[in-house]
């Protein structure tokens, strides 16, 4: 009897020990899961902040902004593929998680991608120019793109229609995806677009064409 009782309590003890290990393991596992979610939140925030820097440039480098947002969310920026002349930001962050019950630390990793929403009609324009237009559209209400990228044939047809206004085929920045003609809902939109252009890296290079916008500083 005694022997049997002893065996029984040994089994119970073993079962309890196993339960404790399992509990510890699942507690630490849930810490990993929580850290994963937190790392993903940090990656999302960092990618959005870097992409925002493309649309609303404050003069800081997008990776620097991404690093700051990652840190704010308890993570560390590993990489930011977010060129200031591009239309997207792809970031990877890591977050260290301590597993006290298992006596370990683990590093979890998360990535996120944020894409600048280019204005309708910017298809075919060079990506950095589309980003700059997104910046202008973000600052000024009542804008739209009347004419953006044009093929050589489209430019030729336009030149035939309006030889005084359109450049001859082969000589328009529209064909290079480096010019857009804007529509203005009201005079105030036009004034605001002219005023905000430089802040978005844009210019209206032709005085008698106040709708024709290009990236600033083209050769
Ligand atoms: Zn034009």
Judge whether residue 2 has pLDDT over 50. Answer: no
pLDDT of residue 36: 95
By mean pLDDT, which of 52-61, 71-80, 167-176, 183-192 is the weakest? 52-61
How is domain 127-215 classified at the CATH fold level?
A: Muramoyl-pentapeptide Carboxypeptidase; domain 2 (3.30.1380)
Q: What separation in Å is there between the alpha carbon of 124 and the centre of ligand 1? A: 14
Considering the chain, what is the average pLDDT of its residues?
A: 90
Judge whether residue 17 has pLDDT over 80. Answer: no
Q: What separation in Å is there between the alpha carbon of 212 and the centre of ligand 1? A: 4
Written in H, E and C, the secondary structure of the chain is CHHHHHHHHHHHHHHHHHHHHHHHHHHHHHHHHHHHHHHHHHHHHHHHHHHHHHHCCCCCCHHHHHHHHHHHCCCEEEEEECCCCCCEEEEEEEEEEEECCCCEEEEEEEEEEEECCCCCCCCCCCHHHHHHHHHHHHHCCCEEEEECCCCHHHHHHHHHHCCCCCCCCCCCHHHHCCCEEEEECCHHHHHHHHHHCHHHCEECCCCCCCCEEEECCCC
First to last CA, the chain: 99
Give the separation between CA 54 and CA 77, rounded to whole angstroms: 18
Contact 178, 133 (CB under 8 A): no
Q: What separation in Å is there between the alpha carbon of 91 and the centre of ligand 1? A: 36
By mean pLDDT, which of 53-57, 78-82, 174-178 is the weakest? 53-57
pTM score:
0.70
- Mean pLDDT in residue range 164-176: 90
Q: What separation in Å is there between the alpha carbon of 195 and the centre of ligand 1? A: 19
Q: What separation in Å is there between the alpha carbon of 182 and the centre of ligand 1? A: 8
Judge whether residue 190 has pLDDT over 70. Answer: yes
- Mean pLDDT in residue range 67-95: 94
Q: What separation in Å is there between the alpha carbon of 217 and the centre of ligand 1? A: 16
pLDDT per residue over 89-123, tens digit each? Answer: 999 999 999 988 888 899 999 999 998 888 999 99
Q: What separation in Å is there between the alpha carbon of 202 and the centre of ligand 1? A: 13
Q: What separation in Å is there between the alpha carbon of 168 and the centre of ligand 1? A: 12
Q: What separation in Å is there between the alpha carbon of 167 and the centre of ligand 1? A: 8
Judge whether residue 78 has pLDDT over 70. Answer: yes
Work out the angle between the directed axes of helices 2-55 and 127-139 (0-180°, nearest 10): 80
β-pair type (88-99, 104-115): antiparallel
Q: Enumerate the CATH 3.30.1380.10 domain ranges in the chain, comma separated.
A: 127-215
């Amino acid at each position: 009897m005694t022997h049997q009782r002893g065996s029984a309590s040994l089994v119970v003890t073993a079962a309890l020990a196993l339960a404790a290990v399992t509990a510890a393991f699942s507690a630490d596992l849930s810490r990993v899961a929580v850290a994963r979610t937190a790392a993903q939140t940090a990656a999302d925030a960092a990618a959005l902040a870097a992409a925002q820097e493309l649309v609303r440039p404050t003069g800081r480098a997008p990776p620097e902004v991404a690093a700051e947002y990652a840190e704010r969310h308890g993570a560390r920026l590993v990489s930011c593929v977010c060129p200031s002349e591009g239309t997207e930001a792809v970031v990877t962050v890591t977050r260290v998680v301590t597993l006290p019950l298992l006596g370990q630390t683990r590093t979890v990793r998360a990535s996120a991608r944020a894409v600048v929403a280019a204005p309708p009609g910017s298809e075919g324009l060079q990506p950095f120019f589309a980003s700059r237009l997104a910046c202008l559209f973000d600052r000024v209400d009542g804008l739209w793109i009347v004419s953006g990228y044009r093929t050589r044939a489209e430019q030729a047809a336009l030149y035939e229609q309006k030889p005084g206004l359109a450049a001859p085929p082969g000589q328009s920045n529209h064909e290079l995806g480096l010019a857009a003609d804007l529509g203005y809902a009201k005079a105030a939109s036009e004034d605001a677009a002219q005023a905000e252009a430089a802040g978005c890296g844009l210019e209206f290079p032709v005085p008698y064409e106040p709708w024709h916008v290009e990236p600033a500083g083209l050769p």
